Chain A
Amino acid sequence: MLYDLIIIGAGPAGLTASIYASRYQIKHLLIGSQLGGTMVWASMIENYPGFDLITGVDLAQKMVAQVKKLGGEIKNTSVLEIKKKQDSFELRTEDDEFYETKALIIATGTQRQKLNIPGEAKYLGKGVSYCSTCDGAFFKEKTVAVVGGSNAAVTSALHLAGLAQKVYLIYRRRPLRADPIWVERLEKEPKIEVIYETNVVEILGDEQKVSGIKLDKPYQDNQQLFVDGLFIEIGGKPGSELAQSLGVDLDEKGFIKVKPEMSTNVAGIFAAGDVANASGELQQVITAAAEGALASNSVYRYLKGVGK
């Protein structure tokens, strides 16, 4: 089946792109393996206008509902391969279906960055976690550590402080790079202890679950810290492999290079959200949504041949 537009990625950028595409009456399909994308992991969103406090899941579900209400079609799978044809692109998904489209919006976001240290894979789901809201409750009255210094790391530490007995926040630099409003809340929380300029080099366990971590330098004369859980919040790496396979230019960190209207160097391919380099370091629901809207508008103009 030939579509005018296929959007890859079901986070705020892709969902917004679909909302706009529906309103432009562009025949389109949204393909994404993770409905809601990264926002689903956010326990509290306090900076998306119109909602003074909303969970990431609630916001994601509202966006998905809005997409469907407008007639947008969502396929909950992954795109494995994209081939460039004469005037179109052919996509193959994980369930071995093929789709053809005239234009593409790549909104594949980021994948969670791993520490790549011994014990990380072995103890995943056994004390190692990338989601404090999901797994915090398994550590009631226990000791945990969070790795990272961003908004995600600090909000995770705050969330965990409400459950655990003790929370270490371990950051390789100084000072924390989270928004001042979060740092202020962190400083008022007696259960959290911040360890600066330190890296976690190994995750230790008893084969069944995590029992501690090894640091690259001593903290209070001890290079090992006893923890029951380790939450890794060190950001994401762009999911730009598909784009790269089509000859789309990436920046030095692997993000897709876009022009202000979200087009790339390849005709017919647009990008939006965390995978694109449009909003610099700011990876927010609102920037992703805005970029999704811009991308759909550009696709609309591209399909109509405006500005050619």
Chain B
Amino acid sequence: MYPCRAHRLVSLLLALCAMLGGAPAARADALDGLLEVKSAYAQPEQGVYQLFARVAYPVNDDIRAALKDGLTLTFDLDVVVSRERRFWMDETIAEYTLKRELSYHAVSDRYVIRDLDPRNGGDQHTFPTVEEALDALGTVESWPFLLKAQLNPNRQYRVSLRAGVRRGRLPDTLRVLLFWTDDWHRESEWFSWSLPL
């Protein structure tokens, strides 16, 4: 018992050191794999820019097992619209995040995607398989994100898109406690393009 406790204490101290170091070591987890924005474009329609994108999320048995065990994955899609400036840093015009979560519903044996934006009223869809669910998550169709009126036609604008996934939906108490532990979290590279005016 004592050696075990001593070992725990040592690991606690190591964790403390790692935390003080400010650079938690990256760990291998179920989110390892391909995560990238495959394609994206924005198209104005009736004065509103709509986003179309394809994102590839990692699919593997670990994710399946984790979801089956009751874990929830949160998928964020960050969109940043910035005005390009030649001699200064770009100015951010708009910044939105499409936040959704994927979980496994054990009673119905279905994968549930839920929109976390309260304005959408918790809209959710169910899928029989993970692949279908991830495919649905990776497909963004006609997401209105910008008013044309917000833009100056004489300026250049740039849209940047980044996908992120992390393990989430812990009870809040635990989630804050676990900020330094192996809280799965991955982000793709930014996918940017010039906004056609």
A and B associate: no
